[in-house]
């Protein structure tokens, strides 16, 4: 028996086969069908479809608001996870449970609730000196709501495993609080924080239900790409819809690949310290 085969865990072949078959059916096959439908267009029609002013505006809105919301969620999610792990306080279990609410709440319900709150005549909207609903800011708020749990739940296990021993050791060696956070804590949290950011960003790019109500769906101003794809499908322009989806998929893949490469680089730097 060869060394490579003997070092593998029992059941490796069956497990790998099931995994590849599942991924092929659930991921590769739908993506292949998406590409096949897109290839029915000529190059000229494809290019005109994906570079029209309305489509380009929807890309800017979708990726811009998703990125902004993911950045804010990364900062706030780190703070929330830190408080939940490090500090005891009354109602902690309730707060911890509320974090998961966006996972269980239908996104359309969340969109309606946020619209009612931030509309010009809403509970919060009429108190604000600026408009929130039916603007890119409203879209970002919806994405903040649905993206926060991804960051918090990614950071919590890392913070719990990290404990306070390293911080106490740094303090006994004379490190200030800021030095402890910047040189001991944050490097350990970096990969997990990037993972949470990537998850929130990816969810925000494809989000539809919670955004469609609060955005107002105004072309060139607040129309997101998922809504534009739905519009194309309703108009029976299936090939154009898949063309837009393919471009969005490629951009998302490149961005997430870059984030994963950065995460791996940070992980190696931390491990080889």
Assess whether pLDDT exceeds 70 at residue 266.
Answer: yes
Q: Using CA atoms, how far apart are residues 16 and 20, in angstroms rounded to an integer?
A: 6
What does the DSSP 8-state code read for residue 126? G
Q: Using CA atoms, how far apart are residues 32 and 34, in angstroms rounded to an integer?
A: 5
Check whether domain 43-272 has CATH 2.30.30.280, yes or no = no
Residue with tokens 């794809």: 229
Buried b (16+ CB within 10 A) or exposed e, 198-226: bbbbbbbbebebbbbbbbbbeeeebbbbb
Exposed/middle/buried for 106, CB within 10 Å: 0-12, 13-18, 19+? Answer: exposed
Helix (H, G, I), strand (E, B) or coil at 132: coil
Find the length of the chain. 273
Q: Which two tokens stand for residue 167?
A: 């911080």
* Structure confidence by residue, pLDDT tens digits, 163-197: 677 777 777 777 777 877 777 778 888 889 999 99
What pTM does this model have? 0.86
Q: Using CA atoms, how far apart are residues 134 and 238, in angstroms rounded to an integer?
A: 28
* Structure confidence by residue, pLDDT tens digits, 99-132: 999 988 888 899 999 999 999 888 888 888 899 9
């Amino acid at each position: 028996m060869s060394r490579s085969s003997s070092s593998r865990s029992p059941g490796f072949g069956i497990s790998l086969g099931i995994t590849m078959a599942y991924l092929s059916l659930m991921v590769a096959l739908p993506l292949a069908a998406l590409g096949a439908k897109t290839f029915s267009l000529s190059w000229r029609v494809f290019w005109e479809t994906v570079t029209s002013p309305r489509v380009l505006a929807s890309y800017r809105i979708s990726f811009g608001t998703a990125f902004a919301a993911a950045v804010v969620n990364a900062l706030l999610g780190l703070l929330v996870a830190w408080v939940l792990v490090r500090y005891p306080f009354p109602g902690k279990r309730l707060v911890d449970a509320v974090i998961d609410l966006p996972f269980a709440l239908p996104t359309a319900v969340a969109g309606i609730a946020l619209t009612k709150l931030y509309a010009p005549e809403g509970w919060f909207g009429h108190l604000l000196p600026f408009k929130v609903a039916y603007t890119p800011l409203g879209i970002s708020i919806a994405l903040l709501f649905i993206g926060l749990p991804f960051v918090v739940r990614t950071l919590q296990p890392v913070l719990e495993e990290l404990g306070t021993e390293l911080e106490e050791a740094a303090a006994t060696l004379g490190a200030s609080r800021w030095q402890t956070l910047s040189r001991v804590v944050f490097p350990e949290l970096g990969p997990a924080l990037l993972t949470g950011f990537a998850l929130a960003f990816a969810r925000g790019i494809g989000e539809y239900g919670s955004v469609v109500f609060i955005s107002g769906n105004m072309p060139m101003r607040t129309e997101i790409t998922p809504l534009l794809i739905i519009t194309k499908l309703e108009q029976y322009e299936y090939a154009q819809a898949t063309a837009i989806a393919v471009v969005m998929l490629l951009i998302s893949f490149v961005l997430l690949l870059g984030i994963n490469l950065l995460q791996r680089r940070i992980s190696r730097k931390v491990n080889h310290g």
